Amino acid sequence: MHLLVENQLLALTVIMSLGLLVGRIKIGGFRLGVAAVLFVGLGFATLEPGITLPPILFIVGLSLFVYTIGLEAAPGFFASLKTTGLKHNAFGFAMILGATAIAFGLIKGFGIDVPTGAGLFTGAVTNTPAMAAVVDTLPSLLNSDQQNLLELPVVAYSLTYPMGVLGVILSVAILAKVFKIDHDKEAQDAGVAVQALETRRIKVIHPNLPSVTTMPHKFDLEIIVSRIEHRGQLFLPEPGDRVDPGDIISVVGTSEELDRAVEFIGEALPGDPTHDERLDFRRIFVSSTSLVGIPLRKLRPRLQGMLVTRVRRGDMDLVATPDTVLQLGDRVRVVATQDRIDSATRLFGDSYKRISDFNLLPMLIGLTLGILIGMIPVPLPGGAELKLGSAGGPLIVALILGYIGRSGPVVWQIPYGANLALRQLGITLFLAGIGTTAGAGFGKALQDPQSLTIIAIGAIVTVTFSMATLIIGYKVLKIPFGQTAGIISGLQTHPAVLSYVSDQTKNELPSMGYTTVYPMAMVAKILCAQILLFLLYFT
């Protein structure tokens, strides 16, 4: 312990290492994952309050985590705003108001003093900016001889914060068992599962079919026509090409989509269309920045004699459509004439080294913009100010830049593998830092008998809030459980919960829910914490 007090770098590596090891321990099908780093840090700092980490460490970690999450989730986030995003945000805001009302009733019922009650709420919903807003607002409500009460919100926050994380994780774990959630089936039903793509030959029977370009849209199919065989001549389809009865086309898609395509087009033929000596096929890494962030339809002039049929991003295969936007690190399946396949390799780059050695400058510019936006103060009643901080600012900028993709020669997206590595590093740094910060006050506060009451009330607020959100979201609003768990992670504005849920589901549903509601939740909880403070003080 003495070594860890004297050497902060050693303390950081020990806490991160032990946390990741503990997180892999599975008890009854439940494991904490990377969230265990928080509790290891909390335990060390409780045993020895002298173990501290520089605040800049976990601020950098938090900013990195939310920025990389925002970049990846941006396309889905803006797409959701056109469909379910507004409904999910309204639902989340209603649940935060409900949690505020529950906290008000319990604090009044148990006779908790005003500063402690407000701090208790911010810890139960794990929102540091909300706690800071309470501390900023409190002096305007206190007399000059009551300034010693200013530390009470921070103490209450440190007491309720650990259960604010663990309570949500336990709620998700328990309800996933109670509802017997099949995460793989949920992901498949929601269209975010890893599905194998196939290529099938279909003989055209039905006349007057739409062009091969508009066929997927007309028939509502996730497919692409990769080859056309007309009177024994094989060629790559061009925009506007049509097919006649008797033609044979090769179609790429999932098994279900291909079955539907056969019904619209004609009859399936036997044989493997991927083995045809007249055309060449190759999987190529996208490492050329000149092709990323641009829809494939705009790249057509540069793709003469070649066709992108599939895009593999991470573990997921996607059908290439005219609207598909390539990212660094994607692997594309290219069909081309034999004389063009080497040109395709040079065009897309195919350099794994270049992907690994990605340009840090756009990421640092984006983070800088996010931090600056997070510093902008918005005045609130009572003299307080609202700031998005080092989490909200970078997240909003990342969502915008991730959606834009590129600005002239600047590519904002980060290669998939690098994104995951930075995200894991960021969340681990953040959890180690915040755990040691909360642990110092936690050990001291436990010596006060009233602390158990504060912890219990905070736990009730957290568990009621998370259970109600999960049950109403999943059972009443029919939101997939994985996405609902992501929503409660976003409403709690805590990345440890998202990391745990993502570890369990192993799909993108939690990230979709998290990013949809996070910006709203950050602002709403800061406002609700101050509203609660005023209500407690004046009633």
417 band by pLDDT with thresholds 50, 70 and 90: confident
Q: What is the C-alpha separation between 441 and 120, in angstroms, rounded? A: 13
Question: DSSP letters of 438-471?
Answer: HHHHHHHHTTSTHHHHHHHHHHHHHHHHHHHHHH
Taking the CB of residue 312, how many other CB atoms lie within 10 A of it?
A: 19
- 183 burial type by CB count under 10 A (0-12 exposed, 13-18 middle, 19+ buried): buried
Q: What is the C-alpha separation between 56 and 63, in angstroms, rounded? A: 10
pLDDT at 375 over 90: no
Asked whether residue 247 is domain-assigned, the answer is no
Task: Report the residue count for the chain.
Answer: 539
393 band by pLDDT with thresholds 50, 70 and 90: confident
Q: What is the C-alpha separation between 277 and 52, in angstroms, rounded? A: 65
CA angle centred on 135, ends 393 and 392, rounded to 5°:
10
Q: List for the chain the helix, strand, coil content (%; round to 5).
A: 60, 10, 25
Helices and strands of the chain, counted as H and E runs: 21, 13
Mean pLDDT, rounded, for 324-347 = 85
Find the range with the poorest average confidence among 130-134, 442-446, 479-483. 442-446
Q: Nearest Cα to 396, choosing from 214, 252, 518? A: 518
pLDDT tens figures, 310-319: 888 876 777 8
Total domains in the fold of the chain: 1
pLDDT tens figures, 24-45: 887 665 667 777 887 888 888 8
Asked whether residue 521 is domain-assigned, the answer is yes
Mean pLDDT, rounded, for 161-188 = 88
Q: Domain range for residue 22?
A: 2-189+378-538
Mean pLDDT, rounded, for 316-339 = 83
The tokens describing 428, both together, are: 């681990």
Measured torsion, CA atoms of residues 499, 503, 505, 509, in degrees rounded to the nearest 10: 30
443 band by pLDDT with thresholds 50, 70 and 90: low
531 band by pLDDT with thresholds 50, 70 and 90: confident
Q: Which residues pair with 109 in a beta bridge?
A: none
Mean pLDDT, rounded, for 126-140 = 73
pLDDT tens figures, 113-132: 888 999 899 989 987 667 76
pLDDT at 62 over 70: yes
pLDDT at 90 over 60: yes
The tokens describing 143, both together, are: 């007399």
pLDDT at 499 over 60: yes
Find the range with the poorest average confidence among 10-19, 75-84, 240-249. 75-84
Q: What is the C-alpha separation between 217 and 230, in angstroms, rounded? A: 23
Q: What is the pLDDT of residue 508?
A: 79
529 band by pLDDT with thresholds 50, 70 and 90: confident
Q: What is the C-alpha separation between 519 and 391, in angstroms, rounded? A: 9
pLDDT at 172 over 90: yes
Asked whether residue 316 is domain-assigned, the answer is no
Mean pLDDT, rounded, for 470-481 = 94
470 band by pLDDT with thresholds 50, 70 and 90: very high
Q: What is the phi/psi pair of residue 376, to 5°?
A: -70, 120
pLDDT at 88 over 60: yes
pLDDT at 194 over 80: no
Mean pLDDT, rounded, for 199-218 = 89
Asked whether residue 235 is domain-assigned, the answer is no
Q: What is the pLDDT of residue 452?
A: 87
Q: What is the pLDDT of residue 479?
A: 93
The tokens describing 84, both together, are: 């379910």
Q: Residue 205 region, left (φ>0) first, then alpha (ψ -120 to 50), else beta? A: alpha
Q: What is the pTM of this model?
A: 0.69
Asked whether residue 436 is domain-assigned, the answer is yes
198 band by pLDDT with thresholds 50, 70 and 90: confident
Q: What is the C-alpha separation between 379 and 385, in angstroms, rounded? A: 4
Q: Nearest Cα to 471, choosing from 461, 460, 485, 458? A: 485
- 406 burial type by CB count under 10 A (0-12 exposed, 13-18 middle, 19+ buried): middle
pLDDT tens figures, 447-463: 777 888 999 999 999 99
441 band by pLDDT with thresholds 50, 70 and 90: low
The tokens describing 247, both together, are: 């033609």
The tokens describing 395, both together, are: 């997240």
Find the range with the poorest average confidence among 34-43, 153-162, 319-328, 377-386. 377-386
537 band by pLDDT with thresholds 50, 70 and 90: confident
CA angle centred on 87, ends 376 and 163, rounded to 5°:
65
Find the range with the poorest average confidence among 239-253, 352-366, 481-495. 352-366
57-66, 268-277, 397-406, 510-519 — which one is most confidently predicted on average? Answer: 397-406
Average predicted confidence (pLDDT) for the chain? 84
Q: What is the phi/psi pair of residue 527, to 5°?
A: -65, -45
Q: What is the C-alpha separation between 526 and 121, in angstroms, rounded? A: 11
pLDDT at 330 over 90: no
pLDDT at 216 over 90: no
Asked whether residue 126 is domain-assigned, the answer is yes
Asked whether residue 16 is domain-assigned, the answer is yes
Q: Nearest Cα to 39, choosing from 61, 57, 23, 60? A: 23
Asked whether residue 485 is domain-assigned, the answer is yes
Q: What is the C-alpha separation between 525 and 128, in angstroms, rounded? A: 10
472 band by pLDDT with thresholds 50, 70 and 90: very high
Provide the percentage of residues in the chain whose pLDDT is more than 70.
Answer: 90
pLDDT tens figures, 337-364: 777 888 888 888 888 777 777 788 999 9
